[in-house]
Amino acid sequence: MALANAGCAVEAVCPARHPISKTSAVRHPHNYHGLAPLMSFRNAILGTSPDLIIPADDFATRHLHELHRNGKREGNKGAQICALIERSLGPAESFPEVFARNSFMELAHQAGIRVPKTAVIENRNDLRKQAGRLGFPLVLKANGTSGGDGVRITQSLEEAEHALRMLQAPPLFARAAKRALLDQDSTLLWPSLLRRRHVVNGQAFVLGREATSTIFCWEGSILASLHFEVLKKMHASGHAAVLRLIEHPEMSVAAEKVVRRLNLSGFYGFDFMLEAHTDNAYLIEINPRTTQVGHLALGRGHDLPAALCAALSGDRAPETPKVTEKDTIALFPQEWMRDPASDFLRSGYHDVPWEEPALISDCVRKSQGQRAWYVKPEVSATRSSSMPRTVRPEHRAVEVDCEAK
């Protein structure tokens, strides 16, 4: 979670040894305690008096929603924090909508947005009923997950039943303990210890190409946006690794309708499927946080950080040069991890934060342990041993998405 003020100075709440602590973009990191997350957030907010809070993952957004509920119960004592959270995210009435997939799909449908059929699936009987209505392939998604961790595309009822059991289960304690002990990241401990089961939704499969939008909005209006087609992913249901900048009117209109209807503020992401043969854009998900491409400055109306500064200062968004004229963006370290010999690292804009050597070093070091999970079998170990040499961009990125897993 980032804390920003009108001068666009940034502080962050993050686990110990998080990569963000290696960058000069953050003035001061505040330690996130996974067993006392709300206290971590509250202390950081009271200690910095920020003008805006920027959640960088779904856990952070959920913590802010819970902190808002607690503040409401405190009355006048919690009014200041509640007001700050609503200024940063939008009205509290929007909070349930952005995490309840079925409810959000219904809201989008009512707004005239093209969406696939979606239904909550509580048990095997629900699954059998909805599988008959939605058909196969059937997409199952768990609420409160991101990065593809809570998504399964199933081809049969037997496969769907197995996926439903896996998605409903709380995080394994061994996984939560590993992240806490080795990565110093205790975000999964409470969900694991409380044994809360995820709500799972079934969604009709849309054959086509994946696309994504990221926007910065203010009081129900979009001030800057970026729309991409996903060219490569870390794995079938994981993070994007290579993107192509596009203009798609239906994606733009869908984002505008959601932001206006919920009166949102802050950074949000939208995931789409562009239907094969028609190119129709089906909205499949909202991400109530900043996403891994939100830092890219790609011209007027496509520079989210500039729009943020303008909203906080009340001035017009400054004219900033584009970081690249290329439409294809290879994300760091994702594409390098996926395939160190990828042509996209040379033909596209490789989004390496060259001015932050400590951050690059930390990302590379942590990526070595993750590479076996993502790299294609045909990529040799010798090719993955070193950082590819790429041309340094004239204007460099200032943040990357390289969360330790």
98: in domain: no
Say if residue 221 is in the same domain as residue 199: no
> Omega of the bond prior to 305 within 30 degrees of 0, cis?
no
157 pLDDT more than 70: yes
Residue predicted with more confidence, 71 or 17? 71
250 pLDDT more than 90: yes
Using DSSP, state whether 337 is helix, strand or coil. Answer: helix
Q: Name the nearest CA neighbour of 259 among 234, 222, 206.
A: 222
Q: Which residue has the tokens 């900048």?
A: 245
Alpha carbon distance 84, 262 (integer Å): 17
401: in domain: no
CATH of the domain at 222: 3.30.470.20
Say if residue 190 is in the same domain as residue 217: no
Say if residue 236 is in the same domain as residue 359: yes
Tally of structural domains, the chain? 3
Say if residue 165 is in the same domain as residue 220: no
| Domain boundary pick from 155, 187, 204 | 204
| Domain span holding position 39 | 2-89
Q: Which helix (H) or strand (E) holds 362?
A: helix 357-374
220 pLDDT more than 70: yes
323 pLDDT more than 50: yes
Residue predicted with more confidence, 21 or 331? 331
Question: How does pLDDT run across 253-308, given as a tens digit for each residue?
Answer: 999 999 999 999 999 999 999 999 999 999 999 999 999 999 999 999 999 999 99
Greatest alpha-carbon span in the chain = 61
Residue predicted with more confidence, 399 or 348? 348
Note the residue count of the chain: 405
pLDDT of residue 360: 93
364: in domain: yes
DSSP H helices, 183-248, are 189-194
Say if residue 180 is in the same domain as residue 214: no
Give Rg (Cα) of the chain: 21
224: in domain: yes
Say if residue 70 is in the same domain as residue 130: no
Say if residue 362 is in the same domain as residue 222: yes
Say if residue 342 is in the same domain as residue 281: yes
380 pLDDT more than 60: no
Say if residue 214 is in the same domain as residue 351: yes
Say if residue 142 is in the same domain as residue 57: no
Pairing of strands 28-31, 281-287: unpaired
375 pLDDT more than 80: no
Query: How many Cα atoms sit within 13 Å of 251 on the Cβ side?
Result: 27
Q: Name the nearest CA neighbour of 84 among 361, 312, 354, 397.
A: 312
Single-letter code of the amino acid located at 198: H
190: in domain: yes
Residue predicted with more confidence, 256 or 9? 256
Q: Which residues pair with 14 in a beta bridge?
A: 31
26: in domain: yes
Alpha carbon distance 108, 101 (integer Å): 10
381: in domain: no
CATH of the domain at 172: 3.30.1490.20
DSSP H helices, 203-339, are 249-262, 304-313, 334-338
Residues 131 and 158: beta-carbon distance below 8 Å: no
Residue 383: pLDDT band with limits 50, 70, 90: very low
pLDDT of residue 147: 59
| Domain boundary pick from 89, 106, 129 | 89
The conformation of residue 97, written as its DSSP 8-state character, comes to H
Alpha carbon distance 37, 67 (integer Å): 10
355: in domain: yes
Say if residue 269 is in the same domain as residue 342: yes
Q: Name the nearest CA neighbour of 282 among 147, 95, 108.
A: 108
Single-letter code of the amino acid located at 287: N
Say if residue 175 is in the same domain as residue 316: no
Using DSSP, state whether 122 is helix, strand or coil. Answer: coil
